[in-house]
Structure 1
């Protein structure tokens, strides 16, 4: 046993020396391979991920060979679990991580072989290397699978929850949005204007609802696919042809809109009353669905190149209201603020009760400038409210808002951190104001990505 322990200790020292001397080359080898890997490059290309990952991968390698697996490994295990959870949150395919581990094994093993040791010693060292990396991968993968399974269940729960809302009202709202767009196009043709209609159906409130909300509500529905096809046909064929005011083009527009209405009706007939997922006090979404929604919107913004923004809204001096007038008054204030927020955003946007007196708003297809305008409008609207906190008293309220826009980082938590930091600055600067996260979200704390652990 003593001899075995000595052999393992010697092999560990050997690996630690090799990695310490070559760690930068190992990190470079990792990058040179994966930056040309089509699937992996999507996760590595963002500058913040790139910079942080190089440092984190370097630290991970040094930590790996510096740990004797015969001793207490609880801290090491927890770090690997955290990494696996981050990979799941980013939706990094686990096979990419495993491929990266194989690459690192190969690069280190080559350097072990180059030492010119006898066959038995070389084999012992390479076996220990494989066991160490596999040990780390075991905990990463378990956490990845567990988190992914949980996320899939939450995704489905949100879809079912969304279907359980007032389906008849939602259906009529979207029918009205479709008809409003159709009428605006026809009026522009029948009026004095001679230019072709410039408002595409895909960018209308109805089109945004189809792309964002309906895609979750009716995931995988062939009927929804038919609606999306008709929207593309209208935007790419009907609208360009309609500029000549030809009766055939107008008739084609009406026919396709009628088809969408028919399919929309069929789509909503699949709905059922299912589980609830709203905050009982404010009727906003609770945080349970935040990973599902933000993860999907980040993926959509990244793949489509579309803008996306988050607002972090915090009611100013809320504790003072609670302490002065009681918790029922605080509830009345939160209910008033939530009602205003829900009415201030589009039907494709999302409002969450983030915690306490904080709300998080996800603004789809909204750029920095638009997000700032919306945030300022919300701030002014909240300041105009005077909620009733007792039979004879109303209170003045204000809110501070932090705004962050999507800059390409694949982790939604990065945007949340940026919005939260902007909110903190708004509080520091006197409250009742809107602050923007720096362009590029350079002021936000960068989260983990790929083989990454920030401890």
Structure 2
């Protein structure tokens, strides 16, 4: 689809501000400052009444921040003709558009909000008896065109970001199970068998049915729900496996100790469904092909390319399921001294070793990224703050007690600092990254070799 370049939009914005008398620009600026709180109230009230937009605005942090931000946006955009700072105002609209793309706010909602603002602003201008009729008419025309231009710049940035996200999303679907597929098949078949054996063992011991292990939260269940189901989205086998997982867990919830005949029938169904899952899983993995793009060359971990896709997916999953997820931002302490003392080859070996430790000590549904340099990121799915801190402390302890061997026969000890943040409902995953990064900064400033949980 053809898009007007951003430079042309800026030129049109500049031309627009020069078409109206200075009296109009000054009057509109005064109106914006005077009525910004009322217009922000209107916008917020109407958006919350819409069931679609309300889902993006219910988080307290958004509520508390939105009103002030909306007032600032109104006064800034409507003061463009008076201030003349087109570059700064354009950059503001681009940032807003990118945020909208990141949290997937429909463009239609943005347009609806703008229509409400323009309608009420026209009413306020028409009611201002201190303005002459020509000035009122000019203010109405100028305000409408300024808001339209601001929206056009927003939509331009939204479209660019959304296109990039869509391309990354499609690539990630192919990539997300792109480990060696034959190994992955055996690993997940073994994970499914482990769950079956665990279940049968608990039943043989006469455990309370309420304490039986659900398939959805098993090693296999986490891997399939958070990784494989996304990669194979659209394949009929994918939805069938998800349905089997849900049905198996429903059957488990119906097991009782005082109805042995019913229990036996349910267990037979369960075994048949587990066998069906194995068959369907083999079919899916046989259809897939390995895709290496997006993997860090040195550590073989995920790189930044798919981070927005994974975080966006987990935010959506959390909002739909009510579960939460967490981030561990990890930095190798005093890594520069390793490169300076032993050379960059030694530093590379250390990073590979740490990557192996991280990958070996998280669950199948979790993700490990190398962000660059000596910084790593782990995404922990279906996690609470307490559990996330336990995982962080476990990884910190393992690394602190590990012997790192460097050629020819040198052995060194290392530590890492970790910042931990758990999703709290904010729709923009960038806020979660910022919280984890801030916690990591606090950990490094607190003597390193420690874990800090973001509030």
**TM norm structure 1:** 0.91
C-alpha distance in 2 between matches for 1:7 and 1:152: 41
Q: Quick one: which of 200, 218, 229 aligns to 1:215?
A: 229
Alignment of 1:193-208 (within 5 A): 193=207, 195=209, 197-208=211-222
In 2, are the aligned partners of 1:160 and 1:275 still within 8 Å (CA)? no
C-alpha distance in 1 between matches for 2:153 and 2:301: 36
**For the structure 1 residues 203 and 9, does the alpha-carbon distance in structure 2 shift closer, same or farther, using more than 3 Å as the test?**
same
Partner of 2:311: 294
Partner of 1:175: 189
Deviations, residues 334-356 of structure 1 (Å, cap 9, x unaligned) = 11111100111111100011121
Matching of residue 123 in structure 1 with residue 164 in structure 2? no
Partner of 1:447: none
Alignment of 1:78-117 (within 5 A): 78-116=91-129
Partner of 1:270: 287
Alignment of 1:54-453 (within 5 A): 54-68=67-81, 71=84, 73-116=86-129, 120-193=134-207, 195=209, 197-241=211-255, 243=257, 244-246=259-261, 247-438=264-455
**For the structure 1 residues 85 and 69, does the alpha-carbon distance in structure 2 shift closer, same or farther, using more than 3 Å as the test?**
farther
Give 5+ residue unaligned stretches, structure 2. 1-16
Structure 1 residue ranges, 4+ long, deviating more than 6 angstroms after superposition: none
**For the structure 1 residues 120 and 261, does the alpha-carbon distance in structure 2 shift closer, same or farther, using more than 3 Å as the test?**
same
C-alpha distance in 2 between matches for 1:192 and 1:236: 19
In 2, are the aligned partners of 1:386 and 1:394 still within 8 Å (CA)? yes
Partner-residue secondary structure (3-state), 2:426: coil
Partner of 1:30: 43
**For the structure 1 residues 381 and 170, does the alpha-carbon distance in structure 2 shift closer, same or farther, using more than 3 Å as the test?**
same
Deviations, residues 181-240 of structure 1 (Å, cap 9, x unaligned) = 112212222235465552111121111112101122111222110111111111113551
Residue-pair matches, total: 435
| TM-align CA RMSD | 1.9
In 1, are the aligned partners of 2:78 and 2:147 still within 8 Å (CA)? no
Structure with more contact order per residue of length (Cα contacts < 8 Å, sep ≥ 6): 1
C-alpha distance in 1 between matches for 2:19 and 2:427: 45
**TM norm structure 2:** 0.91
Give 5+ residue unaligned stretches, structure 1. 439-455
Partner of 1:9: 22
How much does 1:430 deviate? Answer: 0.7
**For the structure 1 residues 395 and 70, does the alpha-carbon distance in structure 2 shift closer, same or farther, using more than 3 Å as the test?**
closer
In 2, are the aligned partners of 1:328 and 1:389 still within 8 Å (CA)? no
Deviates more, 1:256-265 or 1:334-343: 256-265
